[in-house]
């Protein structure tokens, strides 16, 4: 079933799949963490700015 989608990697299946697996996980992880941090920072800033507004 899998072999229908995956190309035949021969005896090197392990290193190739592991590389792509770990590489993609790291990349996606980095993007997700960045976006998560970005969202959090934005929310914090918005909270402070709106408080500022209501003060003024």
Partner 1 sequence: MSLWKYANPVKFLHLSERVLPTLWVLSIACVATGLVWGFFFTPDDFRQGSTVKIIYLHVPSALMAINAWFMMLLASLIWLVRRHHVSALAAKAAAPVGVVMTVIALVTGALWGQPMWGTWWAWDPRLTSFLILFLFYLGYMALWAAIEDPDSAADLTSVLCLVGSVFAVLSRYAVNFWNQGLHQGTSIPVATGERSVADVFFVPLVIAMIGFGLLFLALVFYRTGTEIRLRRTKALLAREART
Residues near partner 1, by CB under 8 A: 7-13, 15-16, 18-20, 22-24, 26-27, 29-31, 34-35, 37-38, 41-42, 44-45, 48-49, 52
> What is the closest distance, in whole angstroms, from the C-beta atom of residue 25 to partner 1 in the complex?
10
Q: How far is the CB of 34 from partner 1 (least distance, A)?
A: 5
Nearest residue to 18 via CA among 28, 31, 5, 9: 9
CA separation for the pair 11, 14 (Å, rounded)? 8
16 CB-near residues (< 8 Å, 6+ apart): 9
Q: Which is nearer to partner 1, 1 or 10 (CB)?
A: 10
């Amino acid at each position: 079933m899998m072999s229908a989608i995956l190309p035949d990697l021969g005896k090197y299946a392990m290193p190739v799949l592991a590389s792509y697996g770990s590489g993609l996980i790291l990349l996606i992880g980095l993007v997700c963490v960045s976006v998560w941090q970005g969202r959090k920072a934005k929310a914090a800033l918005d909270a402070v700015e709106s408080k500022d507004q209501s003060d003024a």
